[in-house]
Structure 1
Amino acid sequence: MLTGRRFIFVGGDLRQLEVIQQVVDNDATVTLVGFELCNRTFTDTTHADLTVETFAGADALVLPVAGMAEDGSVQTRFSREPLILNEHHFAALKPGAKVFTGIARNRLESICSEYGLCLVKLMEQDEVAILNSIPTAEGAIALAMEKTEVTIHDSNVVVLGFGRCGKTLSRTLHALGAHVRVVAKPLPELARIREMGMQDVPFERLLEAVQDADIVFNTIPALVLPAAILKEMRLDAVIIDIASAPGGTDFRYAERRGMTAILAPSLPGIVAPKTAGKIIAESICRLMNVKDAEPEVHEKG
């Protein structure tokens, strides 16, 4: 339970509504900033402006999955006005307060370090990232179905990367009857791919793997599909890039060549916000009750 804990929620999308509900259900005191356009109501919550006084003494600040941009802006779906945080907001939080975010850019890292706050990067927590890969995989496959004229079953599919999302995506495609090739680097990953009944492809043979592909799913946040690779692929191949922006595809060249290449990050918040929100909420509630939480606690100064 979170009885006696005070949370500040700033901005977010549909996922954040599920997080708010679970935190409220766990008996926390909740203040919402930037939710005036939300038509969903929560019991025992307060709406407030983005002032230093609002943040004073709070135990936790919950940011959207996208976190805070370097200019302090926070993505919001439910606010009339832009939300922009500054150092004074963070300085007002209780010393040692937890700051929850999906990802963290340099400025957020620096501010939390300066003011002795515990920065929790939820998308780096296995309990979140692994479960989050399920709606990501479902969303990516649904997008591929929409953009192709063939079934997933019996199609030639390539997955680039075998991390959390790559594993779930590959296994799901394989279960649907696709001919799955997975491109990876580490030898243990290549061995596991083969053990799972899929074709393992060393990274240096990426071009060979994608040349006759119907669909290519990229999970690697680096330029792995440059113009030189795209030039050798089929024109009717569909690329679904789920890596963090800007993705791993030369989208300019793909468009010039007439190929279908789609950057689709943050799929859980689009295709399954309720599920994705519950995954995040469970981790936040658990970490608030762990004194020596996994994330690094920055020393003030």
Structure 2
Amino acid sequence: MLTGMHIAVIGGDARQLEVIRKLIELDAKLSLIGFDQLDHGFTGASKEQLDEVDFSTVSAIILPVPGTNLEGQVDSIFSNEKIILSKEILGSTPEHCTIYSGITNAYLDQLVGNTNRKLVQLFERDDVAIYNAIPTVEGTIMMVIQHTDITIHNSKVAVLGLGRVGMSVARTFSALGANVRVGARKSEHLARIFEMGLTPFHLENLAENVTEVDVCINTIPYQIVTSDVISKMPAHTLIIDLASKPGGTDFRYAEKRGIKALLAPGLPGIVAPKTAGQIVANVLSQLLSEDLSGKEGNESCN
């Protein structure tokens, strides 16, 4: 239980509603910032403006999966309020306050560094990323069906990267009957691709391996689907980029060539927000409980 623990939930999308429900079940005291346009309320949680929260009693701040932008703004689909997570706000929290975010960026890293606060990136955890790959794959399948005029079965699919998402994408598309080839750099990844019964290739040879693809799915968060690679693709190829913004594709050149390229980060929150929210909520509740137990243990020792 999280009885007596004051938690600020700042911004987000429908996934955050599952987080709020879970934390209320655990008897936490919640301040909800950026939820003023939410139709329904939550018993045990209060909707507040940023300047109304007493951050000196806040033990944890929960940000949306994207965290902040590079100016410190936190987006919320439930509010038009401009929410900025500033050094002053974070500095007014207790020293033990922990910030939870899906991912981070230069602004957030600098902010926690300057205020000496702890930042936990949930999507750096293997369990969250692997669970989250399930709705990501389902969303990818949906997009391929919507944006092609062929079946997935017997189509030629290239998957770039064999990380936690790439592995799930490759395995699922293969199970649906696609002819899947997977690009990677590490020798152990190339061996795993072969063991999975798929066709491996080194990413240095990417351009030669997209000359006949129907669908190219990128999971690598830096520009790898370059103009040179796109120039080798058939005109009907569909590119789906699952990497975090700005993705790993030269979208300008793809548009110039008439190739459809879609940036699709955050698919779980779009196609299955309830499930995606429950994944985050379950891990968060575990981490917060451990955090509270640790603080109570330290206090008893003192």
Smaller-chain TM-score range?
A: over 0.9
Match of 1:164 in 2: 164
Residue 290 of structure 1: CA displacement?
A: 2.3
Q: Is 1:46 matched with 2:15?
A: no
Question: Which 4+ residue blocks in structure 1 deviate beyond 6 angstroms?
Answer: none
1:158, 1:216 within 8 Å by CA — same for their partners in 2?
yes
**Paired position in structure 1 for 2:60:** 60
Q: Retained in 1: the 8 A contact 2:36–2:48?
A: no
Q: CA–CA distance in 1 between the matches of 2:235 and 2:57?
A: 57
Which whole-Å deviations, capped at 9, do the CAs of 1:139-170 have from their partners, x for residues lacking one?
11110110001111111100000001100101
Equivalent residue number for residue 232 of structure 2: 232
Paired amino acid for 2:251: F
1:105 alignment partner in structure 2: 105
Q: CA deviation at 1:292?
A: 10
Aligned residues: 293
State the AA in 2 paired with 1:203. L
Q: How far, CA to CA, are the matches of 2:32 and 2:15 in structure 1?
A: 14
| More off after superposition, 162-171 vs 65-74 | 65-74
User: Is the alpha carbon distance of 1:292 and 1:30 closer, same or farther for their aligned partners in structure 2, counting shifts above 3 Å?
Assistant: closer
Say whether the 8 Å CA contact 1:31–1:47 is kept in structure 2: yes
What residue identity is the alignment partner of 1:39?
D
1:91 to 2:91 alignment: yes
1:232-251 superposed matches below 5 A: 232-251=232-251
SS of the aligned residue for 2:182 comes to: strand
Q: Do 1:9 and 1:63's aligned partners in 2 also have CA atoms closer than 8 Å? A: yes
User: For 1:292 and 1:193, how far apart are their aligned partners in 2?
Assistant: 42
Are the equivalent residues in 2 in contact too, given 1:101–1:120 (CA < 8 A)? yes
Comparing both chains, which one has the higher relative contact order based on Cα–Cα distances under 8 Å and sequence gaps of 6 or more?
Answer: 1
- State the match for 1:22 in structure 2: 22
Please show how residues 136-285 of structure 1 align to structure 2 within 5 Å.
136-285=136-285
Larger CA deviation: 221-230 vs 13-22: 221-230
1:208-236 Cα deviation digits (max 9, x unpaired):
21110010100111111111111111000
CA drift of 1:53 comes to 4.3
Name the TM-score, length of structure 1 as normaliser: 0.94
Is the deviation greater in 86-95 or in 139-148?
A: 86-95
Higher helix proportion: 2
Gaps of 5+ in 1: 294-301
Question: For structure 2, which runs of at least 5 residues remain unmatched after alignment?
Answer: 294-302
Q: Secondary structure at the match of 1:123?
A: helix
Report the alpha carbon displacement of residue 103 of structure 1 after superposing the two structures with TM: 1.1
* 1:297 aligned residue: none
- Contact 1:6 1:28 (C-alpha < 8 Å) held by counterparts: yes
Aligned to 1:288: 288
For the residue of structure 2 that corresponds to 1:158, the secondary structure is strand
> How far apart, in 2, do the equivalents of 1:271 and 1:70 lie?
26
TM-score, normalised relative to structure 2: 0.94
Following superposition, the deviation at residue 40 of structure 1 comes to 3.1
1:54 Cα deviation after fit: 3.0
- Equivalent residue number for residue 296 of structure 2: none
In the TM superposition, residue 45 of structure 1 has moved relative to its aligned partner by: 0.7
